[in-house]
Amino acid sequence: VCSVDAGRKILTIIQGKGKQDRIVPVGERALWWVNRWLHHVRPEVLVNPDCKALFLAMDGVAGLTVNGITQVVVQYLRACGIEKGSCHLFRHAMATQMLENGADLRWIQAMLGHRSVESTQIYTHVSIRALQAVHSSTHPAEQRSDDTFNGIEEK
């Protein structure tokens, strides 16, 4: 992350997924925690004042690497009893929930930093639950009573 714009509620991500820069919105809760980190914790652990990374490695000298983030996340997942999972689990969960809550696939693509919408379409297969709910509550054939098929014999 290069910058946090609290007023506009956005993060600027430099060289994120696919080595692309992008701007993403951030919610109030996440923004509160990022600001707490930036103003209260990061200054206490920062050793190298030239380091511009948002999150720091354990030594406070350099930015946290992808592998470092993965190690921390996996450690917490295991502590919670979740054996399978990584940082990608959170991206996947966010994308799936946004899709199931009605977000357009192109907006999710932008949030994830995918160059192509085809990369984002992987999340559409997991939202079948939402599709089934819409189908059962709106499809005309699903609105009929159970006695619709009485008197019809199978051939």
Predicted confidence at residue 17, as pLDDT, reads 62
d(CA 90, CA 111): 13
d(CA 105, CA 123): 9
The answer to whether residue 50 is domain-embedded is yes
Name the H helices within the chain: 28-36, 42-45, 66-79, 87-100, 105-112, 117-120, 128-138
Q: CA nearest 46: which of 67, 37, 3, 73?
A: 37
Q: Of 32, 64, 96, which residue sits at a domain end?
A: 64
Residue 30: what pLDDT?
92
Q: Do 16 and 53 belong to one domain?
A: yes
- Domains held by the chain: number: 2
- Give residue-wise pLDDT tens across range 121-152: 887 766 667 777 778 888 888 877 666 556 66
The separation between CA 75 and the C-alpha centre of its own chain, rounded to angstroms, equals 19
Q: Write out pLDDT tens, residues 25-59.
A: 999 999 999 999 999 999 999 999 998 888 898 88
Q: Is residue 54 part of a domain?
A: yes
Per-residue pLDDT band for 100 (boundaries 50, 70, 90) equals confident
**What is the distance between the alpha carbons of residues 24 and 97, in angstroms, rounded to a whole number?**
17
Q: Please check whether residues 87 and 60 belong to one and the same domain.
A: no
- One-letter amino acid at 147 equals D
Residues 1 and 38 in one domain: yes
* Mean pLDDT of all residues in 14-34: 84
Q: How far apart are CA 153 and CA 24, in angstroms?
A: 57
- The whole-number average pLDDT for the span 109-126 is 83
Could you tell me if residue 16 is inside a domain? yes
**Percent of the chain whose pLDDT exceeds 70:** 87
Average pLDDT, the chain: 84
Do residues 45 and 9 share a domain? Answer: yes
Q: Which domain holds residue 39?
A: 1-64
CB–CB of 2/14 below 8 Å?
A: yes
Q: What is the pLDDT at residue 153? A: 64
Please state whether the predicted TM-score (pTM) of the whole model is above 0.95.
no
Residue 88 maps to a domain: yes
| 123: in domain | yes
Say what the pLDDT of residue 147 is. 60
Residue 25 to residue 39: CA distance in whole angstroms: 20
User: What Å distances lie between residue 112 and 17, 129, 139, CA to CA?
Assistant: 7, 22, 32
Residue 30 and residue 59 share a domain: yes
